Amino acid sequence: MARWEPNARGRLRDAAMDLYAERGYEQTTVADIAERAGLTARTFFRHFADKREVLFGGSLQLEELMVAAAEAVPADAPPMRAVIAALEATAEPLGQDQPHSRRRQALITATPELQERELIKLATLSAALGAALRRRGVPEPEASLAAETGIAVFRVAWERWLDAGEERPLADVIREAVGRFETLVAAA
Amino acid sequence: MARWEPNARGRLRDAAMDLYAERGYEQTTVADIAERAGLTARTFFRHFADKREVLFGGSLQLEELMVAAAEAVPADAPPMRAVIAALEATAEPLGQDQPHSRRRQALITATPELQERELIKLATLSAALGAALRRRGVPEPEASLAAETGIAVFRVAWERWLDAGEERPLADVIREAVGRFETLVAAA
């Protein structure tokens, strides 16, 4: 019988982040994480599929949120407006915990396997957003262009928000990146 | 003593592509490729670091070419003009052999390890282009925004050029993608 484990998910996540930083990602096992959190491996697997999932859990919810935001934009709005709405919708869930996100980013930067996973996550988001645009009747190559370049803008904003000393809310950093992107393209 | 092997690199590449298609990428060894090409493994390693390199050789030259094209644009031109020049410079070397590029793309699409490698290659190109823009005096986040979105446009154009039935030269497909991208952003 499973005991009730208060905030097991959060404890596992914090234990994993500590161990990844101390020992490196490759050298940390699920058993190590569970032990550090004072929980069992079985409890770990109720919350995460594997040790990578600790860092990438929530990808599917993020995708659904972005697609829903793009779909909520009036049908006659230009495609890039739907993409920008999708980017802005990420600010609320992703902008909550800057210290955790910075630790996560440092780990990804230091670990090629995690960099690959992050790039695949972003490519998956772009594909989902492109599909959402095609469902809105946007033709190709416009749907892919809007989705790919939108995710590129998101990536720059996200990394900028994680820079040391950046104190603005994520929503502001995203809005700034979108604005500067539009100015850059207009100037060309 | 090494014998002179006429067109060894091309023979190895063709043998590798055939075997990857017949057996799958993972199931093919360097020894298999050398044998099929009628050459030795030692000759293989004179031309490629490993079996993945058969598909990704030339990445560094591509990066150098794009950076040189961006640097050749007049210093007072807008950043996106330098990025567009870098994209257009790829058309000549990359647009030579559409049948080979289509086989390569099909293999990448079917092989997660190769998809990851391709994403890393594109991220590396974007980082090199961003660095070239910063050397031109372009500040952040503009340098990263221009480089990332430029590579996103390139990726869409490249995949479009590889679509079945696409018969235009790569240069035309890139120019079309750039034009539609600018129209999309202007409309937002």
Give the residue ranges of chain B where pLDDT is below 50.
Answer: 1
Distance from CA of B183 to the nearest CA of A (A): 9
B145 to A81: CB separation less than 8 angstroms, yes or no: no
Instruction: Catalogue all structural domains in chain B, each as residue range(s) with its CATH number.
Output: 8-52 (1.10.10.60), 58-187 (1.10.357.10)
With CB atoms and an 8 Å threshold, state whether B182 touches A185. yes
Q: Across the interface, which of B148, B181, B187 has its CB nearest the CB of A155?
A: B148
From CA B67, how far away is CA B53, in angstroms rounded? 22
Question: Which residues of B make CB contacts under 8 Å with A?
Answer: 78-81, 84, 115-116, 119-120, 123, 140-142, 144-146, 148-149, 151-153, 155-157, 159-160, 176-177, 180-182, 184-188
Looking at every residue in chain A, the average pLDDT score rounds to 94
To probe the interface with A, which of B133, B156, B166 has the most A CB atoms within 10 Å?
A: B156
Which contacts (CB < 8 Å, 24+ apart) does range A180-186 have?
Answer: A180/B141, A180/B142, A180/B145, A181/A149, A181/A153, A181/B145, A181/B149, A181/B185, A182/B185, A182/B188, A184/B78, A184/B79, A184/B80, A184/B142, A184/B145, A184/B146, A185/B80, A185/B149, A185/B181, A185/B182, A185/B185, A185/B186, A186/B185, A186/B186
Kindly list the residues from chain A whose CB atom is less than 8 angstroms away from the CB atom of residue B160.
140-141, 144
Partner-chain contact B78 A119, CB within 8 Å = no
pLDDT in 10s for each residue of chain A, 188 residues: 456 677 999 999 999 999 999 999 999 999 999 999 999 999 999 999 999 999 998 899 999 999 999 999 999 999 999 999 999 999 999 999 999 999 999 999 999 889 999 999 999 999 999 999 999 999 999 999 999 999 999 999 999 999 999 999 999 999 999 999 999 999 98
B78: left (phi over 0), alpha (psi -120 to 50) or beta: beta
Interface pTM, i.e. ipTM:
0.91
- How many beta carbons lie within 10 A of that of residue B163, not counting itself? 12
